[in-house]
Amino acid sequence: TRKQQRYVEKDGKCNVQHGNVRETYRYLTDIFTTLVDLKWRFSLLVFILAYAVTWLFFGLIWWFIAYCRGDLDHLEDHAWTPCVNNLNGFVSAFLFSIETETTIGYGHRVITDKCPEGIVLLLLQAILGSMVNAFMVGCMFVKISQPNKRAETLVFSSHAVVSLRDDRLCLMFRVGDLRDSHIVEASIRAKLIKSKQTQEGEFIPLDQTDLSVGFETGDDRLFLVSPLIISHEIDERSPFWDVSRHQLEKDDFEIVVILEGMVEAT
């Protein structure tokens, strides 16, 4: 058998690498999708850094307010009203920042009503903390609910066959779902990936051609309760119409099957 490099791997990953991308700033304009597409180790790193940086940033501001007001110079003065009670340094300011943003509220460190700048900062941290929570939790939820693992229980036949069916030559393969939860509104389509040369002499690498699997009759919409046989009729409209059996064995091409739908459980 010939060793052939695949356009789409068996697990559904496209074997394509984007090289010479100059406008990389476009990835940052869609930062949410960029974070979702990152590998898990990088996503977890961004997740941790997002919270750690905001906690450190606001902790530094709380410490700076206490330093400018002179609270750190009146730690033992019980007549002095500080901005934040029991804030005696940067570490305690950092802990107060965590308690504020996570709404833990241990009760030891608390803001007083004699500090208007602290009240404004409290509002800003509460709002920004809610935005960070919504963004990061939403990113993690989308990443966890991606259908990559759900596709592991969708099974395709190991081989496709060409044979007569109802006295018509057909290319057939089988697909089944191993889970009890069904895929709603499932539809299937197939693409022939093959390089070709036009009549004008232009060479088109990886040209994509549709293979009809029942779009005209509605057979491409599947009720995937039990394994189904998907059939492509080789007629005059098929790209395999002029291909002989021996030529089929020698040709360099790939058929990509795309199954789409919604998971009933989620």
| Burial class for 35, CB neighbours closer than 10 Å (0-12, 13-18, 19+) | buried
Residue with tokens 């779902």: 177
pLDDT tens sequence for the chain (266 residues) = 556 778 888 777 788 877 777 777 777 788 888 888 888 899 999 999 999 999 999 999 999 999 999 988 888 888 888 999 989 999 999 999 999 998 887 888 899 888 899 999 999 999 999 999 999 999 888 888 777 777 788 889 989 999 999 999 999 999 999 888 888 889 999 999 998 888 898 899 889 999 999 888 889 999 988 999 999 999 999 999 988 888 888 888 999 999 999 888 77
- CATH for 24-145? 1.10.287.70
pLDDT (0 to 100) of residue 95 = 94
**CATH topology for 154-263?**
Immunoglobulin-like (2.60.40)
Domain with CATH 1.10.287.70 in the chain: 24-145
Sign of dihedral through CA atoms 156, 158, 159, 165?
A: negative
Backbone angles phi, psi at 37, to 5 degrees: -80, -10
Q: Cα–Cα distance between 10 and 12 in angstroms, integer? A: 5
